[in-house]
Amino acid sequence: MRVIVSGSSGLIGRALLGALRARGDTAIALVRRPPGPGELGWDPGAGTIDAAGLAGADAVVHLAGAGLGDRRWSASRRLEIVASRVGSTALLAATLAEMAAPPAVLVSASAVGFYGDRGDEELTEHSGPGTGFLAELCGRWEQATAPAAGHGVRVVRLRSGVVLSASGGALARQLPLFRLGLGGRLGRGSQWLSWISLHDEVGVILHSLDHATVEGPVNATAPNPVTNRTFTTALSRALHRPAVLAVPGLALRVALGTELADEMILAGQRALPAAITDAGYRFGHPTVDEALAATLGQVPPGRAL
C-alpha cells in the first residue's frame, strides 16, 4: 500500500510512518519544507500541494495542524488553529476531489472535543456535537473532508482522545512533576478522560486503512475511559510516587486562559470506541493501567501492529 501522511513529524505521525514501513507499506511524508526523497511538498497556508505526487496513492492519512493545548487561545491563536486544521483539510479534500483516480481512503484527524463537555454521558459516534470553540472547530474540521467523500473517497474522521506516550503529548508534560511526587488531579478531578495508548492510536489508523467497512466518525479512544482523579491515581501508582496535590481550576484558568482550561482541561468526554470495535479492532491496551505500564516501559509494548 502506498500511503501519504501529513503531520509526519508529530508524535502520531512518526509512529505511524514507522509502523507502515515495518509492515512493508510505502509511506510518503507530506511536508511543508522542500521535500526530500520519499516526501511530497505542500503549503496549506498558500493553498498549494503537489497534486501530481498524490497520483497512485492508495490512502492518505491527514494528521497535520497547529497544537490545540500548547498555548492559550488568543484571538490570533484561534485563527491559526482554524487555518491549520480546517484550511489544510479543505485543501487536501478539494485536491482529492479533482483527481480522476483518487486514493481509496482518507483518514483525517479530529478529536473527541467534538462532543464538548458532556459530564457522565457515554458518547459514541452517534452522539451529537457539543458547544464551544473546540467543538465547533472539530465540526468544521470534519466537514472540510466533504469534497473527498463526495468524490467517492472513503473518509474516516478520527476523533482521537488523549494519546498516551512518554515521548510527547500531555503525558510527557506531566511525567516530570509526577516523578518528583508533585503530581495531582486537575480541578475537581471528576471530568472524564478519554485516552488511548500511542500503540493503539496507530493500530486504529492501520485498521481503518485496511478495512473498507470503517467509514465516517471513529472514536480513537480506549474502551475504558477514566476520570482525571482515577488517571492521576493510576499514574502515581505506575511511578510509585504519591500524588496528593491538586491544581485548582482557577490556577489553570490563570495559567492557560479560561477558554482553553474550561474546554480542554476541566471539561471531559466519556467517549467509547463503538465503531472501530464493531469493525473488529482489538485493543492492545484496553485499560489505563496496562497502557501506562507499556508506555513507561514496564512491560512489552503490546501485540504487533
Residue 149 lies in a domain: yes
Q: Given a cut of 60, is residue 264 above it in pLDDT?
A: yes
CA distance 45 to 150: 24
DSSP states of 133-194: HHHHHHHHHHHTTHHHHHTT-EEEEEEE-EEE-TTSHHHHHHHHHHHTT--EEETTS-SEE-
The three three-digit cell numbers of residue 75, written as one number: 484571538
Residue 211 lies in a domain: yes
Average pLDDT over residues 41-59: 94
Tell me the per-residue pLDDT of 14-31, one tens digit each, with 9 for 90 and over.
999 999 999 999 999 999
Nearest to 65 by CA among 119, 22, 113, 26: 113
Structural domains of the chain, count: 1
The three three-digit cell numbers of residue 148, written as one number: 473527498
Q: What is the pLDDT of residue 305?
A: 35
Q: What is the pLDDT of residue 70?
A: 82
User: CA-CA-CA-CA torsion for 204, 209, 210, 214, nearest 10 degrees?
Assistant: 70
Residue 285 lies in a domain: yes
Q: Given a cut of 50, is residue 300 above it in pLDDT?
A: no
Angle at 64 between CA 153 and CA 219, to 5 degrees: 65
Q: What is the pLDDT of residue 299?
A: 52
Q: Please state, in angstroms and as integers, the Cα–Cα distance from residue 208 to each residue in 59, 148, 211, 279, following that order.
A: 10, 16, 6, 9
Residue 207 lies in a domain: yes
The three three-digit cell numbers of residue 40, written as one number: 511530497
Q: What is the pLDDT of residue 140?
A: 97
Nearest to 99 by CA among 55, 145, 146: 55
Question: pTM of this prediction?
Answer: 0.95
Q: What is the pLDDT of residue 69?
A: 85
Residue 304 lies in a domain: no
Kindly give the residue spans of alpha helices, DSSP state H, lying in 23-74: 51-54
- Sign of the Cα pseudo-torsion (108, 109, 110, 112, in order): positive
Q: Given a cut of 90, is residue 303 above it in pLDDT?
A: no
- Residue 182: CB atoms within 10 Å: 13
Residue 305 lies in a domain: no
Q: Are 220 and 196 in contact (CB under 8 A)?
A: yes
Tell me the per-residue pLDDT of 80-94, one tens digit each, with 9 for 90 and over.
999 999 999 999 999
Q: What is the pLDDT of residue 297?
A: 87
Tell me the per-residue pLDDT of 160-203, one tens digit each, with 9 for 90 and over.
999 999 999 999 999 999 999 999 999 999 999 999 999 999 99
Domain that holds residue 54: 2-295
CATH number at residue 118: 3.40.50.720
CA distance 30 to 39: 6
Residue 66 lies in a domain: yes
Q: How many residues does the chain have?
A: 305
Q: Given a cut of 50, is residue 304 above it in pLDDT?
A: no
Residue 271 lies in a domain: yes
Kindly give the residue spans of alpha helices, DSSP state H, lying in 23-59: 51-54
